[in-house]
A and B are shown apart, each in its own frame.
Chain A
Amino acid sequence: GQNIDQPTEMTATEGAIVQINCTYQTSGFNGLFWYQQHAGEAPTFLSYNVLDGLEEKGRFSSFLSRSKGYSYLLLKELQMKDSASYLCASLDSNYQLIWGAGTKLIIKP
């Protein structure tokens, strides 16, 4: 079956670093997406990884290991506005996104 696992909720402190993990098992693999979703709003694209390694984009970085079926999203210099849900999604062999349940990130001052 197809399965995406990520923690339900995480808490971090403003200015700190947090890593949100995601493991996936999908029929075929064509890449791994991370999206950010604020409460009551639609998701917004953060990153896409299809090759192993780390992709850095400002305060956000995303890592992929295809052999391990594992990805993480790294958020640095956390700001209060980073409080949101972070969705991991795997693109399967049919180029369809399989979504994780999302990780709610709570930032405390």
Chain B
Amino acid sequence: GAVVSQHPSWVICKSGTSVKIECRSLDFQATTMFWYRQFPKQSLMLMATSNEGSKATYEQGVEKDKFLINHASLTLSTLTVTSAHPEDSSFYICSATPGSRETYEQYFGPGTRLTVT
């Protein structure tokens, strides 16, 4: 159980275009979803936390107008990278948690590798 999917697995886009990444919890309801970015040989960097039906909370230094997050349902969150630039090329990973007091384990999606040319 506790499977999280991400789509697409990888995407190449041209500079200036927008890219949408979907994150789905397949067999549980995710009260909270997290979006991470990871550059090569670096650790996970939390970008934002989103709760279903409310606005996402962005970490310091992350532009909320550039990285649009929508957590429309208890099983789906989307991250849209707007006006992408080569420096946005990275590995984007989402995670989800049921958020119950019994477990705060985060279940990770397989990640999306974004390359902006």
The answer, among B43, B93, B99, B104, for a CB contact under 8 Å with A42, is B93
| B110 touches A (CB below 8 Å) | yes
A21-48, CB < 8 A from B: 30-31, 33, 40-45, 48
Prevailing SS type, chain B contact patch = loop
Interface residues of A, CB < 8 Å — how many? 19
Tell me, rounded to whole Å, the shortest Cβ–Cβ distance linking B70 to chain A.
21
| B35 touches A (CB below 8 Å) | no
A45 to B42, CA, bound (A): 18
A65 to B91, CA, bound (A): 33
Residues of B within 8 A of A44 (CB): 108
Query: Which residue of B has the minimal Cβ distance to A98?
Result: B46
Interface residues of B, CB < 8 Å — how many? 19
**Residues of chain B having any CB pair with chain A under 8 Å:** 34, 42-44, 46, 49, 91, 93, 99, 103-111, 113
The answer, among A33, A41, A42, A101, for a CB contact under 8 Å with B105, is A33
The answer, among A41, A48, A96, A101, for a CB contact under 8 Å with B43, is A101
CB of A99 within 8 A of CB of B93, answer no
CB of B107 within 8 A of CB of A45, answer yes
| A64 touches B (CB below 8 Å) | no
Q: A40-B91, A99-B44 are in contact. List 14 more A-B contacts (CB 8 A).
A: A40-B111, A42-B93, A42-B110, A43-B93, A43-B108, A45-B106, A87-B44, A95-B99, A96-B49, A97-B106, A99-B43, A99-B46, A101-B42, A102-B43
CB of B104 within 8 A of CB of A30, answer yes
Query: Which residue of A has the minimal Cβ distance to B107?
Result: A45
Residues of A within 8 A of B104 (CB): 30-31, 91, 95, 97
Tell me, rounded to whole Å, the shortest Cβ–Cβ distance linking B100 to chain A.
11
A100 to B99, CA, bound (A): 21
Residues of A within 8 A of B105 (CB): 33, 45, 48
Tell me, rounded to whole Å, the shortest Cβ–Cβ distance linking A97 to chain B.
6
